Amino acid sequence: MNALVLGGSGGIGQAFIDYLLKQDKTQRIHATFYQHHPGVHDERVCWHKVDVTQDSAIKDLCSQFDEIELCINAVGMLHDQAHLPEKSARQIDPDFFTRSVLINALPSLLLARHLSPHFKHQRPAHFAVVSARIGSIEENRLGGWYSYRASKAALNMALKTLSIEWKRSLPNVIVSALHPGTTDTRLSRPFQKNVPSHDLFHPSKSVTSMMQVIDNLTPGQSGNFWSFDGQKLPW
Ligand SMILES: NC(=O)c1ccc[n+]([C@@H]2O[C@H](COP(=O)([O-])OP(=O)(O)OC[C@H]3O[C@@H](n4cnc5c(N)ncnc54)[C@H](OP(=O)(O)O)[C@@H]3O)[C@@H](O)[C@H]2O)c1
């Protein structure tokens, strides 16, 4: 199996790479990092420094390998040095909102644009993206976190739409949005203090659970939103 992991330098992305390296069937993993140097060094992993918000960078990345059976996008952004998630609409910063959509929603569509030739082999394949339960419109009861929620809802709609297109043109590819559970990474660190320890997962636990979900999916289940525990989430 050949895989592509976007965001391999992140907590969850790196755990995906560690997991895949333990599988005998894994031949080659193409993985991306951007600002943080990757922590995994193995001859089966080929690292690429990529700003995944740039169409030309994704095109160039995809030109560097041939067929793949698994694509996982684990890129994401919740906060930066100047911004925490908004508690009120009064805190909306247009630049932060735009950057959230740029990083959380657009790269999966750019990937879809340039990856489809790599899935034409007709073997079973997965296009899986780490989304977030907080992007579910139906489950939104607490409010707040406008930019993150809206960017993940946009991502979810993009994936649903892609699954409909690919059911016709690439029926071997299962498209899924995944919720990892609250996971101990740079992204969640400022928000962990109120999370009970049994609800804060080590990245290896989230990834083992998400891979179990992925491995059990059939083509008829393409275009759904899954929690790490296998529960189907409302969009
Ligand atoms: N942790 C949680 O509790 C949790 C819960 C729900 C959903 N999620 C989702 O899980 C995914 C992974 O998050 P994480 O917790 O592993 O966060 P993380 O440790 O902060 O990793 C984020 C990853 O995104 C990459 N990235 C950000 N901007 C990029 C850009 N412009 N170009 C290329 N790469 C970029 C980072 O690369 P560099 O660091 O190299 O720049 C890093 O690899 C995200 O989509 C997040 O929304 C996480």
* Domains in the chain: ranges and CATH: 2-227 (3.40.50.720)
Residue 44 CA, distance from chain mean position: 21
Q: Once rounded to an integer, what is the mean pLDDT over residues 103-115?
A: 98
Q: How many angstroms does the Cα of residue 171 sit away from the middle of ligand 1? A: 29
State yes or no: pLDDT of 163 exceeds 90. Answer: yes
Pull the structure tokens for residue 188: 């969640």
The arithmetic mean of pLDDT across residues 219-229, rounded, is 98
The per-residue pLDDT for range 170-209, each reduced to its tens digit, is 999 999 999 999 999 999 999 999 999 999 999 999 999 9
Return the pLDDT at 39: 86
Ligand 1 site, residue 173, Cβ cutoff 6 A: no
Quote the CA–CA distance of 51 and 177 in Å, as a whole number: 21
Arithmetic mean of pLDDT, 101-128 = 97
206 lines ligand 1 (CB under 6 A): no
- Nearest-CA residue for ligand 1 atom 39 is 36
Q: Are the C-beta atoms of 29 and 44 separated by less than 8 Å?
A: yes
pLDDT, averaged across the chain: 97
Q: What is the pLDDT of residues 7-49, one digit of tens each?
A: 999 999 999 999 999 999 999 999 999 999 898 899 999 999 9
User: What mean pLDDT do residues 204-230 have?
Assistant: 98
Cβ–ligand 1 contact at 107 (below 6 Å): no
% pLDDT > 70, the chain: 100
The set of residues, in sequence order, having a beta carbon less than 8 Å from that of 63 and lying 6+ positions away, is none
Each as own residue / partner, the long-range contacts of residues 91-97 (CB below 8 Å, 24 or more positions apart, any chain) are 92/146, 92/147, 96/147, 97/146, 97/147, 97/150
Would you state the pLDDT for residue 229?
98
Both tokens assigned to 129: 């993206």
HEC string of the chain?
A: CEEEEECCCCHHHHHHHHHHHCCCCCCEEEEEECCCCCCCCCCCEEEEECCCCCHHHHHHHHCCCCCCCEEEECCCCCCECCECCCCCHHHCCHHHHHHHHHHHCHHHHHHHHHHHHHHCCCCCEEEEEECCHHHCCCCCCCCCCHHHHHHHHHHHHHHHHHHHHHHHHCCCEEEEEEECCCECCCCCHHHCCCCCHHHCECHHHHHHHHHHHHHHCCHHHCCEEEECCCCECCC
Cα gap 2→81, rounded to integer Å: 35
Q: Above pLDDT 90, what percent of the chain?
A: 98
14 residue type, one letter: Q
What's residue 228's pLDDT?
98
Give per-residue pLDDT as tens, 38-78.
988 999 999 999 999 999 999 999 999 999 999 999 999 99
Query: Ligand 1 center to residue 168 CA distance, Å?
Result: 31
Per-residue pLDDT, averaged over 153-159, amounts to: 98
Average pLDDT over residues 94-102: 98
- Which token pair is 185? 């990474």
User: pTM of the predicted model, to two decimals?
Assistant: 0.98
Q: How many CB atoms lie within 10 A of CB 218?
A: 8
133 close to 179: Cβ distance less than 8 angstroms: yes
